Amino acid sequence: MGGVFPVLKTDDFILRELSKDDIDAISSIWGSPKVTEKLSSGPLSHEESVEMLYVLHSLWDNDAGIRWGVEREGRLIGTCGFHNINKGLRRGELGYELDYEFWGRGYMRRALVPVLDYGFNIMRFERIEAFINVDNDRSTGLLTKLGFKKEGIMRDYARTPTGLIDQSCFSLLKREWKKRSEEHTSELQSR
């Protein structure tokens, strides 16, 4: 990694590098109790959001991951990407969040398709993992629609401001993603 940050485009979104110009939008998203209710961090202050933006931005520079800003119609509405990368085992952990104003529209699912393609085809992952709070029904639905399989529950896996919590472990394998992509392409060609 490192070098020129990759920009991914869909019909709906531009997935691009985060910058200091995004701090107000990011602070609004990460500071929202509604958005962070199911995240292990809890709401972030403006200063904590600045620090987190720096950490996420440095993933690319330090060859440790990548976090895209999800932009729709010129507005940053969320972020997504990979962290906790293990190059030897060719796997990474998926993370994402979306401004609650845009929930329920399938936006994150559509934004994650090119991200997962990038992970499997460019970063050469064989496995992508996601860890979510056990009561996060929205993320469970999102991951399931993308083809992830629930592997189990990691007990006391994440620390929150109120204590340790259990998280569900989901995974998607390259061969599963490839099969889904081939079936989707076949379906489109038969129309």
Per-residue pLDDT, 189: 53
Per residue in 105-154, pLDDT (tens digit) is 999 999 999 999 999 999 999 999 999 999 999 999 999 999 999 999 99
pLDDT band at 173 (very low <50, low <70, confident <90, very high): very high
Model pTM? 0.91
How far is Cα 47 from Cα 44, in angstroms, rounded to an integer? 8
Q: Percent helix, strand and coil across the chain, each rounded to 5?
A: 40, 35, 30
Parallel, antiparallel, or unpaired for β 163-173 and 149-160? antiparallel
Would you say residue 190 has pLDDT above 60? no
Per-residue pLDDT, 184: 62
103 vs 37: which has the higher pLDDT:
103
Per-residue pLDDT, 188: 47
- 16 — phi, psi (to 5°)? -140, 170
Per-residue pLDDT, 1: 67
Per residue in 24-73, pLDDT (tens digit) is 999 999 888 888 776 767 788 889 888 988 888 889 988 899 999 999 99
- 77 — phi, psi (to 5°)? -115, -5
Contact, 126 vs 174, CB < 8 A? yes
How far is Cα 109 from Cα 142, in angstroms, rounded to an integer? 6
